[in-house]
Amino acid sequence: MVIDQPFSAAGAQTPPPRSAVTEGRATRVALTVIALLFLAVFLVLPLVIVFLQAFANGVGAYFAALTEPDAVAAIQLTLLVAAIAVPLNLAFGVAAAWAVAKFEFKGKAFLTTLIDLPFSVSPVISGLVYVLLFGSQSLLGPWLAAHGVQILFAVPGIVLATIFVTFPFVARELIPLMEEQGTADEEAALSLGASGWQTFLRVTLPNVKWGLLYGVLLCNARAMGEFGAVSVVSGHIRGLTNTMPLQVEILYNEYNFAGAFAVASLLALLALVTLIIKTILEFRYGDALSGSTGH
């Protein structure tokens, strides 16, 4: 058992004979073609169809659909919601990652599971929880109504539902990354007289900045594209509580396909930009992102 150690170490250096550890050429080509065809049908075609349909009535109709007042209101609302939800989840993600990754405490694994919880809840249920909490039949409902606070069917409800569904993104990127980096850098900074904030801003943050950007990117894409949860709490009031995905649904159900796909094309563009930045980050800073696992 011990004797074969040097041999296996040397064996790893020489390239293995290809025929023994890979399939025949025909099998390789066939498997590659099947996989690529599957991806083409299931991933590429839907993306292509979005842009084709968006421009089906010409470029003029496309821009007319996007500058229509309800579409503009939907775009503005989507940007507003993301501008509130993403920074809040960013603050939470950083705080949770600091507590979980830099300290050892009881129940840590349980806390990490709880942070991931929103991912295993149906988007519709994510919206339902707030309807039950703030609706007119709830405990809080009458009090809110008496004080003139509107949460459901208004912007606060949409923001809350969006925060719920995008809750884990930043934290789950940062936790494995910061755990892997350990605490030696921070301890060194502290022993040299840096304050806690200085240590965080000058030592920890630069170490995790690409992972942080990655998490924010995914969080933002989901925040702008969330449909189910927002649909339940929004009340679908045109020009007021319709985000872009809801606007897509309304236009589509009215058989205004070109209009629906025009708004959808903006969301698809956002998805593409997200994927491109994500790929660049992984390609350039793969090491600085390791510890994070997809998603």
The interface with another protein within residues 232-251 (CB under 8 A) comprises 232, 244-246, 248-249
* Per-residue binder mask for another protein (CB under 8 A), 184-223, x = binder: --xx--xx----x--xx-----------------x--x--
144 CB-contact burial (10 Å; exposed 0-12 / middle 13-18 / buried 19+):
middle
Should residue 258 be labelled a site residue for another protein when binding is judged by CB under 8 A?
A: no
Range in contact with another protein (rule: CB under 8 A) among 67-75, 122-130, 141-149, 206-214: 122-130
Site string for another protein, 9-28 (x = CB under 8 A): --xx---x---xxxxx---x
Contact status: 149 vs another protein (CB under 8 A): no
Amino acid at 3: I
- Rounded CA separation 86/69 (Å): 26
**d(C-alpha 110, C-alpha 199), whole Å:** 28
Task: Please select the residue that binds another protein; options are 141, 144, 183, 207, rule is CB under 8 A.
Answer: 183
For another protein, the binding residues in 26-45 under the rule CB under 8 A are 28, 31-32, 34-36, 38-39, 41-45
Smallest CA-to-CA distance from 203 within 214, 193, 215 is with 193
Binding another protein by CB under 8 A: which of 64, 68, 73, 135? 135
> If binding is defined by CB under 8 A, does position 227 make contact with another protein?
yes
- The letter for the amino acid at 274 is T
Task: Evaluate whether 54 touches 265 at the Cβ level (below 8 Å).
Answer: yes
Check residue 55 for interaction with another protein (CB under 8 A). Answer: no
Instruction: Tell me whether residue 20 is exposed, middle or buried, using C-beta atoms within 10 angstroms of its C-beta: 0 to 12, 13 to 18, 19 or more.
Output: exposed
